[in-house]
Amino acid sequence: MKSALEIAAAVRGGQSALVAVEESLTAIRARNEELNVFLYVDEDGARAAAAHVDEQVRRGEDPGLLAGVPIALKDNLCTTGIPTTCSSKILEGWKPPYNATVVDRLVAQGAISMGKTNLDEFAMGSSTENSAFGPTRNPLDPARVPGGSSGGSAAAVASNMTPISLGSDTGGSIRQPAALCGLVGVKPTYGLVSRYGLIAFASSLDQIGPFAHSVSDAALLLEAIAGHDPLDSTSLPEPTPSLLAHVNDGVAGKRVAIVRELVDGADEDVVRAVNKAVETLKDAGATIVELSIPELHLGLSAYYLIAPAEASSNLARFDGVRFGNRIDGEDVTAMMEATRTAGFGAEVKRRIMLGTYALSAGYFDAYYGQALKVRTRMIEAFATAYQQVDMIIGATTPSVAFEFGSKTNDPMAMYLNDVFTIPTNLAGEATISVPFGTGEANLPIGVQLLGPGRSEARLFAAARVLEIADGRA
Amino acid sequence: MTEPLSRDDVAHVAKLARLRLTEDELVRYTEQLGKILVHAQDLSSLDLHGVAPTAHPFGLVNVVRNDEVRASLDPAPVLAQAPDVEDGRFAVPRIVGEAP
């Protein structure tokens, strides 16, 4: 499949948008049953949108940055009249009455939604094994997980069903599947992309971001969806940054820190890839320093109190009253209990209870309160590091893609998969995962580049250096 | 390490969260949540006196819009997605008991 940039250029040049749409539909038909990537394929909607883009071109109008580019959407993004499930039985059959802001922006830029992709229920998980509609398989090795929670969106791009897709990242849910599927994945600065219409998991951590094969396509997609939105009060007021124009800026003169805590404990093949990436940036003119940020070790514990606490509050709205499914009961409390008990899966229940406990009287200070203070320390530690360097490099995940069932019985083992990705969510800063080299079983390895808020352009430029050195562009 | 939470704690939390647990689930969740909380105890040993809590990464203040009438969602498609509706409103089972 062509890149998003190539498709948009071809469509602007007069090629029918239906060409890429039909290619996408053919790829979906070929492997969706095997891989379980899309929960809903919007064939008619995609063809109609392609016809609309063609009509715009005929009239001499520019359809936008993503003219005729097929895209896959994680199924926690609201789409008017199109089922939106969060991979949960509690929302099965629900059709939102409005679009997420990112969906409106994609349409305004000429992109064509092919449908909705599988995820861990309510974005809680690291493998898509928590979906109520069955796991997604890794297109590179169907015996292994694609990562999660945005596993379907990662698999859609990795299997060339669409050139780009959107996911959401609360503790690594874009970067971890990107690493495991050999893709570029971006967790933008908190507030850069509107969360309006993203069904909330942990509101102070959630952020929507792109998946793509290349750094340029990821930059293009982020540029198309970023920018202030009055419908999201946490949206940053500044104008949309220019990203694509900077991907070839390189890293000459940039100071890069290799941070021990973002590598320690990773498998040998992953450590080797990170070290090689450091050498590559050095050869390209960056200055390398070694840093230790001990506070990062506390991230996992703080995250697994803060995220469940926010989730327990956010998911209180799923009570069988206004939307989704209802299981009847003799009174309203019995109805709500029956609805939630039947509607939520095991991991969602686990996190709701963990969060409820962390917020409950008598435990609030010891758990949630303490975690919020750790979050302050984390932000200060990053700020101190960024006084000395322009960016930080580390591993995205401790290992390459793992096999199905290998971590499902031990929640803590699954949570440890997020140890390198979580700190940046707590700090609200920008991070990119870029594929660099391969490890066990010839599977891809992801390297993470972290920077302060709104440093995306700088990170894309560094990721591009690694992409070229890795022979991917 | 202090004690992980008890079965009674889990039963209480489930009630607060409007979830019903089977006996088996109660046992399993007590063990699993206990393990997660034991891991979280590396936080309780830290001296964080005087550190301000952070609930939001950029410390935003309240954002308000101008007090102007503007379009909002049409009630019909919203209510069309509800489990039960009566007279243009969401309908729920009985909330309070019958009058004595």
Residue A130: CA count within 13 A, CB half-sphere: 28
Question: Which residues between 316 and 335 in chain A have a beta carbon less than 8 angstroms from any beta carbon of chain B?
Answer: 319-326, 328-335
pLDDT mean over A80-100: 97
C-alpha to C-alpha distance for A378 and B54, rounded to whole angstroms? 10
Best of B3, B8, B13 to disrupt the A interface by mutation (most A CBs within 10 Å)? B13
A352 contacts on B by Cβ (under 8 Å): 17, 19
- Specify the pLDDT at position A334: 96
Q: How far apart are CA B15 and CA B6, in angstroms?
A: 14
pLDDT at A441 over 80: yes
Is pLDDT above 90 for A114?
Answer: yes
Which positions in chain A touch B84 (Cβ < 8 Å)? 326
Say if pTM beats, i.e. exceeds, 0.95: yes
**Min CA distance, A23 vs chain B (Å)?**
34
Instruction: List the structure tokens of A327.
Output: 């299981």
Question: What is the pLDDT averaged over residues A179-189?
Answer: 98
Cα–Cα distances in angstroms (integers) from residue A227 to residues A211, A314, A392, A419, A454, in the given order = 18, 24, 25, 29, 11
Give the mean model confidence (pLDDT) for residues A373-391: 97
A301 neighbourhood in chain B, CB within 8 Å: 39-40, 42-43
Please name which of A444, A355, A362, A459 lies closest in space to residue A400, comparing C-alpha atoms. A444
Nearest Cα residue in chain B from A83 = B81
Asked whether the beta carbons of residue B39 and residue A373 sit closer than 8 angstroms, the reply is no
Average pLDDT over every residue of A39-67: 98
Inter-chain residue contact A321 with B9, CB threshold 8 Å: no
Which of A84, A321, A354, A382 best probes binding to B when mutated, by most B CB atoms within 10 angstroms? Answer: A354
Does any CB of chain B come closer than 8 Å to the CB of residue A426?
yes
The number of folded domains in chain B is 1
Interface of A with B in 85-114 (CB under 8 A): 94-98
Range list of β-strands (E), A169-282: 184-187, 208-212, 255-259
Using a CB-CB cut-off of 8 Å, the residues of chain B touching A369 are 53
Q: Which residues contact A14 (CB under 8 A, 6 or more apart)?
A: A57
Q: Which residues of B touch A415 (CB under 8 A)?
A: 36
- Rg of chain B in Å (alpha carbons): 23
Beta strands, E only, chain B? 85-86, 89-90
Q: Which of B18, B80, B92 sits opposite A340 (nearest CB)?
A: B18
pLDDT per position as a tens digit, A189-238:
999 999 999 999 999 999 999 999 999 999 999 999 999 999 999 999 98
Find which of B2, B37, B41 to mutate to test the A interface (most A CBs within 10 Å of its CB): B37
**What does residue A112 show for φ and ψ, rounded to 5 degrees?**
-125, 115
User: Is the Cβ of A300 closer than 8 Å to some Cβ of chain B?
Assistant: yes
The reply to whether B75 falls in a domain is no
Per-residue pLDDT of chain B (100 residues; tens, 9 = 90+): 456 789 999 999 999 999 999 999 999 999 999 999 998 888 888 899 999 999 888 877 788 888 999 988 999 999 999 999 999 999 999 888 766 6
Q: Which CATH number do you get for residue B33? A: 1.10.20
What are the structural domains, with CATH classification, of chain A? Answer: 4-245 (3.90.1300.10)
Determine, yes or no, domain membership for B20. yes
Q: Is the pLDDT of residue A470 over 60?
A: yes
Neighbours of A405 (CB within 10 A): 11
What are the two backbone dihedrals, phi and then psi, of residue A99, each rounded to the nearest 5 degrees?
-95, 145
Q: Specify if B58 maps to a domain.
A: no
* pLDDT band, very low/low/confident/very high, at A169 (cuts 50, 70, 90): very high
Query: Could you list the active site residues of A?
Result: 74, 149, 173
- SS3 at position A263: coil
Alpha helices in chain B (DSSP H): 7-16, 23-44, 75-80
Interface of B with A in 38-57 (CB under 8 A): 39-40, 42-44, 46, 48, 51-57
Strands A70-74 and A112-117: parallel
Would residue B61 count as lying in a domain? no
User: For residue B53, is it within any domain?
Assistant: no
Q: In this prediction, what percent of chain A has a pLDDT beyond 70?
A: 100
Reduce the DSSP state of residue A100 to 3 states and report it: coil
* pLDDT on residue A35: 98
Q: Is residue B49 part of a domain?
A: no
The answer to whether the CB atoms of A323 and B82 lie below 8 A apart is: yes
Quick check: helix, strand or coil at residue A412? helix
Closest by Cβ to B39, choosing from A350, A370, A412: A412
Range of the domain at B14: 7-44
Does the N-terminal peptide bond of residue A204 adopt cis geometry, omega within 30 degrees of 0? no
Nearest CA distance, A358 vs chain B (angstrom): 9
> What distance in Å separates the CA atoms of residue A233 and residue B88, rounded to the nearest whole number?
29
| A87 φψ region: left (φ > 0), alpha (ψ -120 to 50), beta (else) | left
C-alpha distances (whole Å) from A282 to each of A248, A251, A440 are 16, 9, 26
Q: Quick check: is B17 in a domain?
A: yes
Q: Is A232 at the interface with chain B, CB within 8 A?
A: no
Least Cα separation, residue A270 to chain B (angstroms): 25
Q: Is the pLDDT of residue A118 over 50?
A: yes
**To probe the interface with A, which of B54, B74, B85, B95 has the most A CB atoms within 10 Å?**
B54
Task: State residue B40's pLDDT score.
Answer: 87
pLDDT at residue number B100: 65
Rounded CA separation A329/A342 (Å): 12
For A471, residues 6+ apart whose C-beta sits below 8 A from its C-beta are none
Q: Please indicate, yes or no, if residue B25 is contained in any of the structural domains.
A: yes
CA A256, A260, A263, A269 dihedral sign is positive
E-assigned strand segments in A58-215? 70-74, 112-117, 164-168, 184-187, 208-212
Eight-class DSSP state of A137: P
Handedness of CA A34, A39, A43, A47 (dihedral sign): negative
Angle in degrees, 0-180, between the axes of helices A299-314 and B23-44, rounded to the nearest 10: 130
- The per-residue pLDDT of chain A, averaged, comes to 96
pLDDT at A359: 94
How far apart are the CA of A145 and the nearest CA of chain B, in angstroms? 22
